[in-house]
Amino acid sequence: MMRRRAWITFCLAALCFGFLPALIRSEYFLNLFLMFFLYVTVAQSWNLLGGFTGQISLGHSAFFGTGALITRLIWTAGVPIVPALIAGSLSSVVLALLVGVPCLRMRSAYFPIGTLALAMIAQITVANLFPLPGSLSRGYLTGYSMLSRYYLALLVAMLTVAVVYWIVRSRTGLALVGIRDDEAAAEAMGVRTFKHKVFALMVSSWLVGLGGGIFAYHQVSYYYSAPFELSWSFLPTLTTFIGGLGTIAGPILGAACFLGLSEIFAISLGEVHLVVFAFTFILVVLFVPGGLMSISTKIRSLTARIARRATRV
Amino acid sequence: MGQTLVYGVLNGALYGIIALGIALVFGVMRYLNLAQGSLIILGAYGILFLFHLGVDPFASMPLIAFLLFLLGGALFWASFSRLIALSEAGRIKNSLLISFGLMLLIDNLATLLWTGDERSITPAYSGLTFGIAGLRFPLIGCVGVLSALVIIVALHLFLARTYFGKSIMAVSQDHEAASLMGVNVNLTCLVSFAISVGLASIPSALIGLKSFSPTVGIQWFNKGVIVVMLSGIGNINGVFPAGLFLGIMEAISVYFFGAPYREVTGLVVFVLVMVLFPKGLFKRQEL
Amino acid sequence: MATLLEAQGLYKFFGGLTAIKGVDFHLNEGEILGLIGPNGSGKTTLFNLIAGVFRPDRGSIRFGGRDIAGAGCADVCQMGLARTFQITRPFPLLSVLDNVKLGRAYGSKPARTLSLAETEAIEILDFIGLGTKRSTGAGRLGLIDRKRLELGKALATKPKLLLLDEIMAGLNPTEMEAASNLVIRIRDAGVSIIIIEHMMRAILKLSDRVMVLNTGEKIAEGLPGDVIADKQVIEAYLGVDTHDAQS
Ligand SMILES: Nc1ncnc2c1ncn2[C@@H]1O[C@H](COP(=O)(O)OP(=O)(O)O)[C@@H](O)[C@H]1O
Ligand SMILES: [Mg+2]
């Protein structure tokens, strides 16, 4: 029942976004939607680790950046984009295994600052190794098609949502939320918690690495350290918390709000949307741990109750 | 090499003072205040503002300290006070999240108010140096070391000798026992949080005299938190030596790997310490 | 009767404190062993050693013939040893059903599919009397239901040996009666049990054998009636720790 509804929503979304470019030709809107897909990818992959497994990472910019860096280097060396993307995302997983896994050995309350430190190390190191911006050469520019970027980003976003949904509904997903709620209790019920956390981290870094690859494929010219900027760690944390931690729809909703606000304010006031989002984030952490999603379920149950009372009368 | 070490010591003293504020709230409440760096930068903008009105940075420091103290109290009252009842892990995690939001809030407000440009406070004496035994000592850096020593001794005396300081120490050891002994835990936490934010004013001035922009707060926070971890949690007296240690280590790494990797050194040490000693310096084994 | 669990010369230190001091004991299959002692005497710590939370500093623990000292909690659980926590530990954001389902999906004899796990979890919930609350969030349960759920979570892992840590504390006499009957039914279903309880009446009724800890040492062991008449035991409860015995 639940499963069928999710399936239908998923297919409808694929159809709508698939045919959108036929209706909207504006480069601006295609760009906007591409950013939406990218934000959804980043936030949803973060959600698997932070929302469902309870390991709040402030280091996802390192995995995003690695995916971008390797994809870009391989792609601009002449390899087609799809293999480059796969290689890039896998290198994010390798980084996660090398440096992220040790962080999981820390007390989990320290995981956020441990991963933050890693993200800063990665950013500084890449900025030092690649001080110049990487621009596409003439050959790549003449063949540049917005549509192929749009569809690849859509594909990656749909893949991310599908993978996270599938994991969360599986046996493993049950263990992950158990770890989030009480690690020692999960362990006492036979869950090998460390192994599961490593799994969540690997999948999360793989998906966010794909997102990084999309960034590399989309941007014409950028400093190689740009996708390593800490904002790529902060963004998924903000949007997922505000949308609804540990729900599939939450990060999507959060990403949409973030993008919408930033577009509205971009015209007039620069970074106001970040101020609004930071403030909302604090309020959510303090007062509404379920984010916008919990507000919507509360409203729904409230209206249901009112409707029931109305029919009874 | 000798000159490098001088700079290492001067930087280390600054790291020590930054860490003091972080260590105080972490020791007393197990709150990790990620926004401490941003509050420091906020103070620097305040000092810069007064400097443009003709006030000397060191003269405006007490006023800024007082304003930050009030701001700290208000922040605690409005948000952080709600976490006191949580478990230790819950306090670390939630204070980290709230202060993360606070950091973004302050940084972006600062960008709106003062743009993202790099600023610096430049009184006539800002570039002065003097030489001893062939080494050059920048005046402001030395003032920094001195003020660090003064503040640390003052804080130590405050904690060890005054009634209020003793109640802070009592709360830091055991909330429940302290409240049973008649200490007002909430008030103690509020005041120690406010003090820690007030302490930010000293690095405000010292960093303000170097250079700053709205988003560098997190980097200074990082220096502070590395020092806190190195000195051992809750060990306020260890903060200054640990700061010097980090400063000197950075200086040595600059000597070997070059300036670009200076920031990386401390971070790598930090991650290694956290990974190799996952239980931190807590003695009690946890269930 | 075969021996299911056997511990020899167990020691556990916390810094300078010796929480468990040279404890030997064994448990036969199908038996209920009562574990009593004043507060702070090391009962919970002994459970933590058996369940793999701590590695004993000295001594051995054999479960079904295999040495389990120092094996992780998850491994011990998968071998068929489940425990409840004295301070209940539900997964607060999950539904009551999912709490128990997790045990059916992992534990010692995991169900083959998740939907099978769900069916079996519902059976367990009916057995412990939480059937009607299966979709309630576990964080919103009252004390008694939390205790029930704690038991349900342990049962869901299909243990051969169940460690029960003060599951009756805070219950009223009727609820305690119901809980005792539940424990007996669990034993009759073939699960061996070690039970920590403060209420002597419950211990006397349930246990085949009783073991007494005091400041980490085993001071008595035997039939329930003999143990409570033991002079050392009476001293431990009344002489030294008067306050604990009262509370
Ligand atoms: N994780 C721990 N760290 C340090 N000391 C502990 C720990 N767990 C228990 N203790 C100490 O060990 C002793 C025995 O405690 P416990 O086993 O909980 O007693 P009981 O369950 O019999 O009341 C107590 O003095 C307690 O303070
Ligand atoms: Mg106990």
Note the ligand closest to the C-alpha atom of C247.
1
pLDDT digits (tens, 9 = 90+) for B103-119: 999 999 999 888 888 88
Shortest alpha-carbon distance between residue C200 and chain B (Å): 27
At residue B20, what is the residue type? Answer: L
Average pLDDT, integer, range A55-73: 96
pLDDT of residue C163: 96
Pairing of strands C66-67, C58-63: antiparallel
Atom 25 of ligand 1, nearest CA residue: C40
pLDDT of residue C58: 92
pLDDT of residue A182: 93
- Bridge partners of C193, per DSSP, are C32, C162
Q: How far apart are CA B189 and CA A72, in angstroms?
A: 50
Same domain, C58 and C176: yes
Same domain, C179 and C232: yes
Task: Determine, yes or no, domain membership for A312.
Answer: no
Residue C10: DSSP 8-state? E
Domain that holds residue C110: 90-157
Task: Determine, yes or no, domain membership for A74.
Answer: yes
- Counted domains in chain A: 1
Query: Using CB atoms, which chains have 3+ pairs under 8 A with B?
Result: A, C
With a CB-CB cutoff of 8 Å, which residues 233-252 of chain A face chain B?
234, 237-238, 241
Residue A181 contacts C, CB cutoff 8 Å: yes
| Distance in angstroms between the alpha carbons of the first and the last residue of chain A | 30
pLDDT of residue C238: 66
- pTM comes to 0.91
Which candidate, B21, B214, B188, B6, places its Cα nearest to that of B107? Answer: B214
Q: Which atom of ligand 1 is nearest to the CA of C216?
A: 14
Same domain, C18 and C48: yes
pLDDT of residue B80: 92
pLDDT of residue A43: 97
pLDDT digits (tens, 9 = 90+) for C86-145: 999 999 999 999 999 999 999 998 999 999 999 999 999 999 999 999 999 999 999 899
Query: Cβ contacts (< 8 Å) between B282 and chain C: which residues?
Result: none
- Bridge partners of B131, per DSSP, are B136
Q: How far apart are CA A158 and CA B237, in angstroms?
A: 53
- At residue A132 the predicted structure's pLDDT band, cuts being 50, 70 and 90, is confident
Average pLDDT, integer, range B32-51: 94
pLDDT digits (tens, 9 = 90+) for A250-309: 999 999 999 988 888 776 566 788 888 899 999 999 988 888 888 888 888 888 888 888
- Burial (CB < 10 A; 0-12, 13-18, 19+), residue C115, is exposed
Q: A286-290, B149-153, C100-104, C240-244 — which is least confidently predicted?
A: C240-244
Reading phi first (left if > 0) and then psi (alpha if -120 to 50, else beta), residue B154 is in: alpha
Question: For the residues of A218-247, what is the DSSP string, one character each?
Answer: H-SEEETTGGGSTHHHHHHHHHHHHH-TT-
> Which residue carries 């239908």 as its tokens?
A8
Atom 2 of ligand 1, nearest CA residue: B285
Residue A189 contacts C, CB cutoff 8 Å: yes
Summary mean pLDDT of chain B = 86
Nearest CA in chain B to C44: B287
Q: Do A174 and C98 touch (CB under 8 A)?
A: yes
Residue A30: DSSP 8-state? H
Same domain, C119 and C226: no
pLDDT digits (tens, 9 = 90+) for B216-240: 999 999 999 888 888 876 677 788 8
Q: What percent of chain C has pLDDT over 90?
A: 71
| C87 in contact with ligand 1, CB cutoff 6 A | no
Nearest CA in chain C to B283: C15
Q: How far apart are CA C175 and CA C161, in angstroms?
A: 24
B225 near B271, Cβ under 8 Å?
no
- At residue B287 the predicted structure's pLDDT band, cuts being 50, 70 and 90, is very low
Q: In the 3-class helix/strand/coil scheme, how is chain B assigned residue by residue?
A: CHHHHHHHHHHHHHHHHHHHHHHHHHHHHCCCCCCHHHHHHHHHHHHHHHHHCCCCHHHHHHHHHHHHHHHHHHHHHHCHHHHCCCCHHHHHHHHHHHHHHHHHHHHHHHHHHHCCCCECCCCCCCCCEEEECCEEEEHHHHHHHHHHHHHHHHHHHHHHHCHHHHHHHHHHHCHHHHHHCCCCHHHHHHHHHHHHHHHCHHHHHHHHHHCECCCCHHHHHHHHHHHHHHHCCCCHHHHHHHHHHHHHHHHHHHHHHCHHHHHHHHHHHHHHHHHHCCCCCCCCCCC
Question: Residue B37 above 50 pLDDT?
Answer: yes
Q: Do C85 and A185 touch (CB under 8 A)?
A: yes
A208: which residues sit within 8 A by CB, 6+ positions away? A41, A42, A45, A46, A60, A63, A64, A67, A92, A236
Residue A197 contacts C, CB cutoff 8 Å: no
Q: What angle do CA A258, A264, A267 make, to 5 degrees?
A: 125
- Burial (CB < 10 A; 0-12, 13-18, 19+), residue C85, is buried
Helix axes A272-287, A231-243, angle to 10 degrees: 50
| B287 in contact with ligand 1, CB cutoff 6 A | yes
Q: Which atom of ligand 1 is nearest to the CA of C38?
A: 22
B62: which residues sit within 8 A by CB, 6+ positions away? B201
Q: Please provide residue C74's backbone torsions phi and psi, each rounded to the nearest 5 degrees.
A: -65, -40
B267 near B226, Cβ under 8 Å?
yes
| C154 in contact with ligand 1, CB cutoff 6 A | no
Q: How far apart are CA A301 and CA A307, in angstroms?
A: 10
pLDDT of residue C126: 94
pLDDT of residue C231: 81
Q: How far apart are CA A210 and CA A46, in angstroms?
A: 13
Question: Residue B176 above 50 pLDDT?
Answer: yes
Domain that holds residue A89: 2-231
Q: Which helix (H) or strand (E) holds A70?
A: helix A60-76
Summary mean pLDDT of chain A = 90
Question: Residue A2 above 70 pLDDT?
Answer: no
pLDDT digits (tens, 9 = 90+) for A16-27: 998 888 888 888
Q: How far apart are CA C166 and CA C85, in angstroms?
A: 8
Task: Determine, yes or no, domain membership for A310.
Answer: no
Note the ligand closest to the C-alpha atom of C38.
1
User: How many CA atoms does the CB half-sphere of C86 hold within 13 Å?
Assistant: 16
Query: Using CB atoms, which chains have 3+ pairs under 8 A with A?
Result: B, C
pLDDT of residue A3: 77
Q: How far apart are the CA of A81 and the centre of ligand 2, in A?
A: 60
pLDDT of residue C218: 92
Q: How far apart are CA C163 and CA C150, in angstroms?
A: 11
pLDDT digits (tens, 9 = 90+) for A202-235: 999 999 999 999 999 999 889 999 999 999 999 9
Q: What angle do CA A83, A88, A89 make, to 5 degrees?
A: 100
What is the tally of helices (H) and strands (E) in chain A? 15, 2
Helix axes A2-23, A27-47, angle to 10 degrees: 150
| C41 in contact with ligand 1, CB cutoff 6 A | yes
Same domain, C43 and C140: no
pLDDT of residue C246: 44
| C48 in contact with ligand 1, CB cutoff 6 A | no
- At residue B285 the predicted structure's pLDDT band, cuts being 50, 70 and 90, is very low
Q: How far apart are CA B264 and CA B262, in angstroms?
A: 5
B189 near B195, Cβ under 8 Å?
no
Note the ligand closest to the C-alpha atom of C19.
1
Question: Residue B283 above 60 pLDDT?
Answer: no
Task: Determine, yes or no, domain membership for C85.
Answer: no
3-state secondary structure of C79: coil
Same domain, C42 and C150: no
Please report, for residues B17, B36, B107, B280, the alpha-carbon distance to residue B99 in angstroms, rounded to integers and kept in the order given. 19, 8, 12, 22
Same domain, C176 and C60: yes
Q: What percent of chain A has pLDDT over 90?
A: 62
Nearest CA in chain B to A184: B287
pLDDT of residue C247: 41
- At residue C233 the predicted structure's pLDDT band, cuts being 50, 70 and 90, is confident
Question: Residue C240 above 60 pLDDT?
Answer: no
With a CB-CB cutoff of 8 Å, which residues 44-73 of chain C face chain B?
48, 53-54
Average pLDDT, integer, range B57-66: 92
Q: A268-282, B33-47, B51-65, B155-169 — which is least confidently predicted?
A: A268-282
Of C15, C48, C54, which is closest to B283 when you measure between CB atoms? C15
pLDDT digits (tens, 9 = 90+) for A158-206: 999 999 999 999 999 999 999 999 999 999 999 999 999 999 999 999 9
C52 near C70, Cβ under 8 Å?
yes
Please report, for residues A278, C87, C215, the alpha-carbon distance to residue C33 in angstroms, rounded to integers and kept in the order given. 56, 21, 19
ipTM field: 0.90
Which candidate, A152, A180, A190, A197, places its Cα nearest to that of A37? Answer: A152
B202 near B148, Cβ under 8 Å?
yes
3-state secondary structure of A132: coil
Q: What percent of chain A has pLDDT over 70?
A: 98
- Counted domains in chain C: 2
Ligand 1 probe mutation, C12, C39, C44, most atoms within 8 A of CB? C44
Query: Cβ contacts (< 8 Å) between A254 and chain B: which residues?
Result: none
Question: Residue A139 above 80 pLDDT?
Answer: no
Same domain, C48 and C102: no
pLDDT digits (tens, 9 = 90+) for C28-52: 999 999 999 999 999 999 999 999 9
| B285 in contact with ligand 1, CB cutoff 6 A | yes
Residue C195: DSSP 8-state? E
Interface size A-B, in CB pairs within 8 Å, comes to 111
Same domain, C149 and C74: no
Which candidate, B12, B40, B19, places its Cα nearest to that of B215? Answer: B40
- At residue C213 the predicted structure's pLDDT band, cuts being 50, 70 and 90, is very high
| Residue at which a domain ends, from C123, C157, C191 | C157
> Which residue carries 């008694």 as its tokens?
C144
Which domain CATH number covers C222? Answer: 3.40.50.300
Domain map (residue ranges) of chain B: 2-217
> Which residue carries 């003091």 as its tokens?
B20
pLDDT of residue B268: 85
Same domain, C106 and C223: no
Burial C141-174 (b: 16+ CB within 10 A, else e): beeebbbbbbbbbbbbbbbbbbbbbbbbeebeee
Question: Residue C2 above 90 pLDDT?
Answer: no
Highest mean pLDDT among A105-114, B83-92, B153-162, C92-101: C92-101
Note the ligand closest to the C-alpha atom of C213.
1
Query: Using CB atoms, which chains have 3+ pairs under 8 A with C?
Result: A, B
E-strand stretches of A126-227? 133-135, 221-223
At residue A278, what is the residue type? Answer: A
Average pLDDT, integer, range A237-261: 93
Same domain, C69 and C170: yes
C128: which residues sit within 8 A by CB, 6+ positions away? C148, C149, C151, C152, C155, C182
Question: Residue B41 above 80 pLDDT?
Answer: yes
Pairing of strands B129-132, A221-223: unpaired
